[in-house]
Amino acid sequence: MKLNKKTALITGGTSGIGESCAELFASEGAHVAVVGSSDMAKAEAVVARIAAAGGTAKPYVGDLSRVSEIARVVAAVKADFGRIDILVNSAGVFYPTPVGGTSEADYDRMMDINVKGVFFCIHEVAPIMKAQGGGAIINISSVAGVMALGTYSAYCAAKAGINFMTKALAQELAGHGIQVNAILPGNTATPMNENIRTEVEFKPMLDAMAAATPSGRTYSEAIDMARAALFLASGDGRAMHGALLVMDEGFSLGM
């Protein structure tokens, strides 16, 4: 039980990498706050699976593009569990933003959820961790923050921002016993990219991705990222501050 009786707040906890983190952390003894964007039924379903496996979790929803909503959710988790030891920022959006074909609303949504939301989740949780004497913050970034992806420039910019935010906050918070690190997934099979993996029109893209993936495994699994998050959250990676852990099957290495 690597996380026995620790409280973990996981945003984006109703699907993909966040969901895998929630279930894995609960299996390791954590009390898990599963935070979704708006659909309480989805959060409750994850909590039900955790409970059926003998774990402890509670569901929450909030619009993480709004600072007031973030503050409300964090306060509720603190009130329910009494503490927050681990924060996993897994909530995010992914869609193309081609130059000449992107609305201001789409750009703002990308930045508000992927960057502002992460910053203010940390902003609300860090004082709690300081008062407790420490904690672990894990940002789910992307390999797109260290390599270019045409037509996804806003997403690349957002994730590059998360990478440097991670480093700067790690420097700021390390003296308080708080670790801040990031995981940079490559292509990972989640509901977010199911269309790319399954629809015929995306086959040329999928073939190109496969050819550029040295491991021969075009898509990692969400549980692979969750296991890395567990390493960072458990104390096994206690020497890591501001690390950017690339987990992309070698995709960013180039041909």
180 domain-assigned: yes
Query: CA–CA separation, 93 vs 219, rounded Å?
Result: 18
For residue 194, pLDDT over 90 is answered with no
Domain that includes residue 160, residue range: 7-190+221-248
72-90 pLDDT, tens digit per residue, is 999 999 999 999 999 999 9
CATH number, domain containing residue 92: 3.40.50.720
197 domain-assigned: no
CA–CA distance from 169 to each of 17, 30, 48 (Å)? 22, 24, 34
Q: pTM of the entire structure?
A: 0.96
What pLDDT, on the 0 to 100 scale, is given for residue 49?
A: 98
29-66 pLDDT, tens digit per residue, is 999 999 999 999 999 999 999 999 999 999 999 999 99
Q: Nearest-5° angle of CA 189, CA 194, CA 199?
A: 130
195 domain-assigned: no
Residue numbers annotated as active site:
155
133 domain-assigned: yes
231 domain-assigned: yes
Number of domains in the chain: 1
Report yes or no: 7 and 57 within 8 Å, Cβ to Cβ.
no
25 domain-assigned: yes
Work out the angle between the directed axes of helices 117-132 and 153-173 (0-180°, nearest 10).
20
123-177 pLDDT, tens digit per residue, is 999 999 999 999 999 999 999 999 999 999 999 999 999 999 999 999 999 999 9
